[in-house]
Structure 1
Amino acid sequence: MGYQTNKHVGLAEEIFREHHRRLESASIALTRNAPVLGQLQRNVHAIVADVAEQFDLPVSNADPPADIDEVVNHTLLPTEIGVDRALRNIHPIESLRAAALLFEVALPIILRRYVITDPARVAAVSLALHDAISRRVSLSSLAYVNYLIEKLQASRREERRRIARDLHDRLGHSIGLALQNLDLSRHYGTQDRLRSDAKVGAAMHEMREALQTVQELTAELRRSFGADGIEPALRGYLASSVPATIRTGLTVTGDVKVMPREVGEELYLILREAARNAVRHGEATELRITIVASEDAINAEVIDDGRGFDLIDAQTAGFGLRSMAERADLLNGRFTITSAPGSGTVVAVEVPLYGPEG
């Protein structure tokens, strides 16, 4: 439909005010945020313009003069709403509840304003209003889902890139050194048996390192959030992937099984990456993970006593900080890192479970 002028501003504003009042009475979350209310208002204007245009409804004396008419982009508004609600973690069920209330509010106001009493015309206006509302809910829900799918795919692409980096940096490095040592062993041959044997021993060491890398990556690929939840997955990771020289601990408070699977999988990857960093880069001797589940949020921390790092330098050091932050953002969560050289590191994540962001 593109851009369209709404000449029924007064009608739209009357409907919006009553809709807002009913949303607040029903404690529907859309009223808690000013930008969301602004979108609701524009959406009402677009719906009223659609219905009024379809039935060629006359402009009422109650409508403001044309110089304050507004223009609404019908094509882009549902997409904007869907993406924005995904960013704010407002579930589509809230949009459906708001849509049902909007129909209940708008129909009697339109019928009263234009004194529509003929049953056939009442039915036609009712159907047009329903279609205008449901079409926008469908489009915004589709945008909501598409946005989340793209974020999830981006998260998985980053995980694949990390595995590719590990294969290149760790596995490739070990195999390269092993081949180099075997070449040197062949070069020394029988002329310097001790040095030749030493190079063979070094090559064997590097190949064992390569094998360990393959085993670790294979274990990571097989292990996920799983049917049993995040706690067994993290305990399995700590047992199989953290050296015995590092003291580990996992404390879980509350019922973490309230987490939806998709939330648990992403949170597990965040905490696993933080633990990996502590092991590989932090030179930690102690690593602790805590998870606290409440009715409306999950709070988790990964704490190590390692050498810490400069946060600005770490952004480009390949620590996966951006990946962890993006995963938290996908969950509409808060992600923070506290660290400084010589002071250890605390990675904290807070993920809401229900409803929108404050």
Structure 2
Amino acid sequence: MRTGRDADAARSTDTTGILDEVLSAFTRALRQQGNQLISRPEVAEQLAGQVASVLDDVAAQLRLPDTFRITLTGEARLPSVEIGAQRAEHGIHPVESLRAAITLFEVGLPIISREFAPTDSISATRISKLFHEAIMARVAVGSLSYVTFLMTKLQESRQEERRRIARELHDRVLHGMSLTLHRLDLNRHYAEHDQARARANLDSAVEYLGEAVRTVQQLSAELRRCVGEEGLASALREYLKVTTPPSVRVSLRITGDAKALPPDTTEELYLILREAVRNALRHAAPRRLDVTVNAAATEVRAVVSDDGRGFDSSGPYRAGGGLPSMRERALLLRGRLSVVSEPGRGTRVEVRVPLMKSGL
């Protein structure tokens, strides 16, 4: 065991070796766990930077020589706040970061304890505490930026939804009411001397008015943002009843105990499914629409599928149609959203949300 100045000198010259050893053990453990973080090259580079930064903090707190400092470049230089936002964009939940943090502590502590050579139990405890605090400080900042990023995106999607509803009211409802008034005026004009035209204009007025009423009903259903005490099945059934035209065969099948789902999961899941149904009816012109929800003990899985016109799911359409907000809502629930579609072959939207077990 090295002591005194000789130990400090050895520590300053062995910095790269410590980092390489910790990083090697860390990445090997993540691969064995199947952690998502290690599967992306840019994220792996960020991990290296985070490990180096953690060791740097510990060295600074232990007042080791400045030569211990590690120079970071590229992705490794990103602060935790930017890393959290990037992981949100890539669909990597903070739980994966927390698991990685626990792994780093488990594999890294024996190495740095050996290299920093504490002389007593108090010194060993201090090194352990500093190492743990440096790791968790980065997890906390990254998780906060992750949530902030998603909440900002959700707020943007809500604003876009309001603008869309305003356009619907103006373009469909107001336009339909204007046409209705115009047809009623023509009906009054032709009522005395041209009964056939009067009748035709009255029929058109009824048609335009009926379309406006249906649009208002649909918008009212879309504005419903709360499942409430009636439960997910009732909310979905009512939405499908109001929004699905008679020409579309629709089915709703729910298995498992959906009423036992956590309230936040139920609400967000309803909004995801509602958006998927709206997209299908608005853009796909389907003849059939199927909605299924399976609430199991550890996961809830829901699918909205149609036999409509479909689209290239790898193309630019993926950025539209409410898909980003659906994906972000799924991520907030630690879930996954997948969209499979081909032109002329329909669309399948699937969301999987893990359920937390009770207890520790």
Judge which range, 125-134 or 253-262, deviates more. Answer: 253-262
Amino acid at match of 2:288: L
Distance 1:275 1:159, change over 3 A: same
Provide Cα deviations, 1:48-68, integer angstroms capped at 9, x if missing partner: 1122234332489xx9xx9x9
Higher helix share: 2
Alignment partner, residue 288 of structure 1: 289
- Matching residue's letter, 1:29: N
> 2:220 aligned with 1:214, yes or no?
no
* 1:33 lines up with 2:36 in the alignment: no
What is the match of residue 10 of structure 2?
none
Greater RCO between the two (CA within 8 Å, min separation 6)?
A: 1
Q: Could you tell me which amino acid in structure 2 is paired with residue 218 of structure 1?
A: S
Equivalent pair of 1:181/1:202 in contact (CA under 8 Å): yes
The number of residues matched between the two structures is: 329
Q: 1:203 offset after TM fit, Å?
A: 4.2
* Residue number in structure 2 paired with 1:3: none
Structure 1 regions of 5+ residues with no counterpart?
1-5
CA distance in 1, matches of 2:180, 2:311: 34
Matches within 5 A, 1:187-336: 188=189, 192=193, 194=195, 199=201, 202-203=204-205, 205-222=207-224, 224-226=226-228, 230-252=232-254, 260-261=265-266, 263-277=268-282, 282=285, 286-291=287-292, 293=294, 298=301, 300-304=303-307, 308=309, 322-330=320-328, 331=330, 332-336=336-340
Secondary structure at the aligned position of 1:350 is classed as: strand
Does structure 1 retain, via aligned residues, the 8 Å contact 2:172–2:212? yes
- The 5 A counterparts of 1:36-185 are 36-58=43-65, 70-71=72-73, 76-118=78-120, 121-182=123-184, 184=186
RMSD: 4.1
Q: Report if the CA contact (8 A) 2:49-2:76 is conserved.
A: no
Distance in 2 (CA, whole Å) between partners of 1:58 and 1:326 is 48
Which consecutive unaligned segments of at least 5 residues does structure 2 have?
1-12, 331-335, 356-360
Q: For 1:230 and 1:103, how far apart are their aligned partners in 2?
A: 41
Distance 1:245 1:100, change over 3 A: closer
Q: TM-score with structure 1 length normalisation?
A: 0.73
Q: TM-score, normalised by structure 2?
A: 0.72
> Cα distance, 1:204 vs. partner?
5.2
Counterpart amino acid of residue 165 in structure 1: R
| Matched-pair contact (CA < 8 Å) for 1:171–1:210 | yes
Instruction: Note the C-alpha offset of 1:262.
Output: 5.3
Tell me the alpha carbon deviations over residues 197-221 of structure 1, each in whole angstroms, 9 at most, x when there is no partner. Answer: 7656644553443333223322332
C-alpha deviations, 1:264-317, integer Å up to 9, x for none? 134312332134227xx72x5x4231426476673524324x6x37769x978x
Amino acid at match of 1:329: R
Q: Does 1:337 align with 2:335?
A: no
**Structure 1 residues 272, 230: closer, same or farther in 2, change over 3 A?**
farther
Match of 2:15 in 1: 8
After TM superposition, the structure 1 stretch with the greater mean CA deviation from structure 2, 140-149 or 161-170, is 161-170
The structure-2 alpha-carbon separation of the partners of 1:43 and 1:138, relative to structure 1 and needing over 3 Å to count, comes to same
